[in-house]
Amino acid sequence: MKAAIVEFARSLGFDAVRVSSAANPDHSREFQEWLEQGFQGEMDYLRRNAFKRVDPQQVLPGAESIICLAVSYARPGDCAGGSNNEVPQAGVMARYAGYDDYHKIIGTKLQELTIEIGRLAGAETRSLWYVDTGPFLERDLAQRAGIGFVGKHNNLISRELGNWIFLAQIITTLKLNPDSSEKNHCGKCSRCLTACPTQAIVAPFRLDARRCISYLTIELKGSIPLEFRSAIGNRVYGCDDCLAACPWNRFAREGSLMKNFERKDLQTVDLLELLELDEEGFRRKFHGTPVQRTKRRGLLRNVCVALGNVGSVESLGPLERRLHDKEELVREHAAWAIEVITGRKKDGDSADT
């Protein structure tokens, strides 16, 4: 039964398929402590459904197994992440944003796999599938299933795939033999901690999301704190620096599933072009991609910050038009960017004289 499930999952394009028991995650207490310290920021949903994340029986009563799956989104020869400041007035997005929305792509495959499990195991078997949406400590479960280990940057690292991977789960009442867990292989390496532009990894295996650029540019709905704006560089959606720094990426390999959904036009973006997007233009450009999550107001907020960091005087006109934007959030960040660019120009003029 297990071999048939693994074989079918592989045929659907999953790059790793392993099984964990449905017992409580190993680091439930550490997760609770992380919440108590407020490191989740405005991600209140993590607290609201914490009771499910630490007890899979609250997700599916009678669950016996959790099938853990991984999909690689590595691009051979590509070095995503970093501020990319050598490209004038260009912005960068997290590597995964350079594809159509992985939730839909992987979700379709999970649905097929869940149907196959029901066919193999019988109608009495109950199963639920999730891709980055379920109330699980998914990295903890993936480590217990042996897909990889949680690195010091708090992301899962596979010794076969690196850390450019999406995780998914199927929780089921079907009892399957669990696979052996993976041990941590970070050793003394601390490259991810050093690479973080905002020092969001406050200690090995401990992330303060409130400082993380991915949180600031995606999850945070209001103003980006002034103390972090310059460190954001020209990132307009997420940040890959801690992932890109991991030496285990030398084993990363391209998966078969995601490469068919690559969006090359989103790997480097024109900041001034993005700044001119109205609601319809935003929907048209980012339809079916993860970037929809920020909405126009969130993306243009990020674009204004990026232009404040890397923009030239030619950015001032477009930014001044955003001072009349319908969104107060955009107006506020446009004003900040204008002030920074103007100050930079004055400093340059003084140096010339």
Q: For residue 279, report the phi and psi dihedrals to the nearest 5 degrees.
A: -60, -45
Known catalytic membership, residue 240:
no
Of 132, 208, 241, 349, the active-site residue reads: 132
Q: What's the Rg (C-alpha) of the chain?
A: 22
Task: Name the residue among 252, 351, 276, 268 with its Cα closest to residue 310.
Answer: 268
Q: Where are the alpha helices (DSSP H) in 151-294?
A: 191-195, 213-214, 226-229, 241-244, 271-275, 279-286
Pairing of strands 90-93, 235-237: parallel
DSSP of 84-145: -TTSTTEEEE-GGGGBS-HHHHHHHHHHHHHHHHHHHH-TT--EEEESS-SSS-HHHHHHHH
What's the rounded Cα separation, in Å, for the pair 302 and 294? 10
Task: Name the residue among 240, 248, 261, 227 with its Cα closest to residue 101.
Answer: 261
Write out the catalytic residue numbers: 132
